[in-house]
């Protein structure tokens, strides 16, 4: 695990870099919010260098004493992220769910999981966080915790299972967890490289142990599917319709999922009853149908290229296979149907 590298994540033909928290940095420069943090890469804060706490990407807090005009839009972090809201309230969104965080709430965000803070802006409050890179770029890969963590192998295995297979993102932190976050904050405020590193290592180990103890006291529903190769394929396929313009090959699709071709094809068939290329052709035809209905300013050749087809002739062949009409026939049929509906609507209004 090389902390000097800027981690990236590839999904659906797109490359994501770890978040840079630019709105937070801008607010700090304008003295709108107080920030204390130790960070690597693009995260704001005092720099961690070399192999000091290797794998720790960012740890710290912000303190907003007045309502802010910024928030952190949808973003991803390369590591497991734990946050604690000590004071105030903050809106938090994770994929298809929204939450209003209250004091004492802790959030868990899996590596590269899209999330958002502030809807759209954050309010008054003090938020603590820690981001630890566990070396994964796809859900099915094994977690590789930093070597300076001293929990036993059994405890680390159990903690990994709770963090990676649990879909509950918001928890009520115990008083001990809240105290531990405050101790981390105090250490950052009076940071001195040698003693500070040792103290941080102790408190972060304690925090993870306290999180494990919290999980053990709760009834948690775990899902192994969140960490499976099938899940990696499912995430890819779910977003493929939005990325049909990419010049996909079977090899590039499998590579984006971090899988070999044979396994990727197997899971694609299991999930869709199609080969990957069949699924891609269907997704492209669906997108083309949408554009033919809604983008009157685009001609058929432009729509073909927009949907990833190399020629308008091939586009017409594939489109007819899935929609029973050529693109021109489909557009005319839809236009005629729309005019007929509008005519009926106007006649009803006149009567």
Question: For residue range 129-188, what is the model confidence (pLDDT) as tens digits?
Answer: 999 999 987 878 889 999 999 999 999 999 999 999 888 899 999 999 999 999 999 999
Which pLDDT value is given to residue 1? 37
More confident residue, 104 or 8: 104
Which pLDDT value is given to residue 225? 67
Residues 86-110, mean pLDDT to the nearest whole number: 93
On the question of pLDDT at 291 being above 90, the answer is yes
Asked whether the beta carbons of 151 and 208 are under 8 A apart, the reply is yes
- Domain 8-224, classified CATH 3.10.20.90, yes or no: no
The 3-state DSSP class for residue 62 equals strand
Which pLDDT value is given to residue 347? 66
Alpha carbon 300 to its chain's center: 34
Asked whether the beta carbons of 92 and 117 are under 8 A apart, the reply is yes
**pLDDT tens, residue by residue, 249-263:** 999 999 888 889 998
- Give dist(CA 42, CA 20) in Å, integer: 5
More confident residue, 188 or 223: 188
Task: Give the pLDDT band (50/70/90) at residue 4.
Answer: very low
Which pLDDT value is given to residue 15? 52
Token digits for 137?
A: 């770029």
Neighbours of 142 (CB within 10 A): 10
Residues of the chain with CATH 2.60.120.10: 8-224
What angle in degrees, to the nearest 10, is found between the helix axes of 312-323 and 327-350? 60
Residues of the chain with CATH 1.10.10.60: 228-344
Fold of 228-344: Arc Repressor Mutant, subunit A (1.10.10)
Which pLDDT value is given to residue 2? 39
- Give dist(CA 351, CA 348) in Å, integer: 5
């Amino acid at each position: 695990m090389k902390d000097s590298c800027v981690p990236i994540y590839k999904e659906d033909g797109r490359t994501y870099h770890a978040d840079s928290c630019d709105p937070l940095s801008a607010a700090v420069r304008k003295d709108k919010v107080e920030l204390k943090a130790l960070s690597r890469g693009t995260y704001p804060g005092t720099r961690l260098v070399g192999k000091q706490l290797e794998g720790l990407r960012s740890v710290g807090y912000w303190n907003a004493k007045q309502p802010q005009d910024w928030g952190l839009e949808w973003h991803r972090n390369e590591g497991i992220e734990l946050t604690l809201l000590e004071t105030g309230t903050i809106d938090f969104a994770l994929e298809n769910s929204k939450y209003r965080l209250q004091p004492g709430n802790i959030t868990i965000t899996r590596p590269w999981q899209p999330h958002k803070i502030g809807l759209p802006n954050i309010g008054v409050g003090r938020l603590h966080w820690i981001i630890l890179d566990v070396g994964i770029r796809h859900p099915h890969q094994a977690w590789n915790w930093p070597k300076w963590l001293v929990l036993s192998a059994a405890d680390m295995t159990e903690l990994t299972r709770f963090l990676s297979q649990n879909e509950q993102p918001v928890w009520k932190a115990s008083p001990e967890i809240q105290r531990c976050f405050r101790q981390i904050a105090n250490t950052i405020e009076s940071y001195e490289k040698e003693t500070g590193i040792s103290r941080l290592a102790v408190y972060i180990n304690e925090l993870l142990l306290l999180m494990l103890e919290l999980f053990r006291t709760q009834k948690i529903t775990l899902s192994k599917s969140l960490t499976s190769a099938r899940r990696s394929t499912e995430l890819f396929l779910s977003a493929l319709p939005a990325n049909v313009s990419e010049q996909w090959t079977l090899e590039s699709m499998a590579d984006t999922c971090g899988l070999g071709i044979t396994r990727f094809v197997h899971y694609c068939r299991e999930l869709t009853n199609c080969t990957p290329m069949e699924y891609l052709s269907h997704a492209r035809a669906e997108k083309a149908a949408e554009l033919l209905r809604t983008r009157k300013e685009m001609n058929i050749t432009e729509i073909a290229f927009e949907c990833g087809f190399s020629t308008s002739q091939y586009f017409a062949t594939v489109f007819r296979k899935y929609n029973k009409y050529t693109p021109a026939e489909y557009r005319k049929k839809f236009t005629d149907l729309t005019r007929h509906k509008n005519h009926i609507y106007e006649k009803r209004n006149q009567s």
